[in-house]
Chain A
Amino acid sequence: MNELLKPAVEKISKKFNAKVSEFRDEVTLLIPPEENTAVAAILRDEFDFDMLSALTAVDYYPQTTPRFHMVYIFYSTKNKVYLNVRAPLDGNEPSIKTMETVYPSANWREREVWDLFGIKFDGHSDLRRIMMPPDWVGHPLRKDYPLGWEEVQFTFNFDEIDARKPKGEK
């Protein structure tokens, strides 16, 4: 493990009972989902992790406990290190506290995760769809969302094709 990461990892793993794992020189912390903002605040204020480099999710369908992992990748411009933090989420309609209060840049990325994975963010200021159209049904990046073809609809046959189109469930 990188020497510069050690103090942060030790503190988080002790305080929040996080599980530490290493893969290809990358350190990942598995934290309890309800502590995500507390962990981020400590990382930002005490360990100079000034950027939330990436925020995304992974779907482990058909497994349900946990079904999702929220993935936060923090970066420190001072120490030039990355730290991965994961929060497991159970069930098909999961929710987690928004990271927007600690890192404002999480706003759009959380909208993206809501749009494509259907993970709700409590306290988010503007949880609208961002990539898909506002009236879209379903969350495309979920593993149970089929990747298929679609008939091309023109004005003259729109209703005809629309009637037999498979519809996702809300």
Chain B
Amino acid sequence: MKTKEEILIPNPRELKNHTKKVLKGNTAAAIAAKICRATFVTAYPITPQTSIIEEIASMIARGEYDAVSVNMESEHSVFAAIKGASLVGERVFTATSGQGLLYAHEVLHAIAHLRLPVVACNVGRPSYPWNIWCDQSDSLAQRDTGWIQFYCENSQEVLDTIIQAYFIAEKLHLPVLVVLDAFYVSHTNENVFIPDQKSVDAYLPSKINGQMDIDIYHPKAFGGLVAPDMYDKFNYLFWEDMNRVEAETNLAGTKFEKDFGRKYSAVESINIHSDTKKILVTLSSITTTVRGVIKDHPEVGLLKIRLLKPFPRKSILKALNKVSEDCVLITVDRNFMGDNEGALLSEIKKAMYGQTRKIFGVYAGLGGRDVPPATIQKIIEIDINSRESGEIVWIDR
């Protein structure tokens, strides 16, 4: 039976195996966990993540979703429990935000270094003083934990990325954090096309357990003391697989397009060509605003970073392949990481190592500050000729 908000669209190509609904980003995340058949979920409330775990709990209570959801007593335990469950071989899911993710930091390392294919959502908000609005400093502070990180532009991308995240996680034995913007995505209703279960099952087959999982009939020890030479080897193997992530992301995205009609890749370049003068580099929902504003600026391009960790250097260099040397990059950072430059600027500078292209950094939208089209316009109008490469602009100061 169809719900009231369910609207059937007659026959557009991309909808042949989809249902269209109007959903918040958080609901899209919860539905993604369900259609990916994550069987073990842990929950601890934190604004603005809470409605994800609420929605999962109610889907389970209604008998629509076959999974166990356990209400833990902290985020440290939330991640420790999914670590245990993933070791046993279940497909696991959880979601958190801000302080919750920071509190779980220690466990994030353990999950990554145990090579567990965990997928978790983070609804980005800052830490302190209290602020519950959109910011990316929480997840960016986890860049060094060994998790793959995706940043999503809208609710559809949240749902689609979670499906691809399990595909990549289980292929490479690496955990994936799917990040969505607080409120701008988490609590904003949008049209979302939900793939049918059969198609998701075809894209993402049941998890196959192997040697890296607990097998009570063949006991072994996990996570015990490791001598330096073996520690070095483990990290080398980790490094090798981390180096595959960018290509696997593009592969997963291409396969996703084939099955569901929506294409995804590590980065997306919009209006980048040989005459482009400026390129704005963005994460998440700010990208949508930029898409609109640059329609009136044929000389301005947009480079959306979807895969943030590991940073997709090859894809970025490829996107900038045809761009002239005097075209500048302007990164838009919605995070203050206690450094001169924002995280995106740092990463872009690393990726651009050896090149002479000018790069500027903009701080915008911290702690949920609105970034309307007028702000994007201001960013485009920054007088780059009077500035040194690497200069930082606080756009609202």
Say whether A and B bind each other. Answer: no
List residues of chain B with CB under 8 Å of any chain A CB: none
Instruction: Enumerate chain A interface residues (CB-CB to B < 8 A).
Output: none
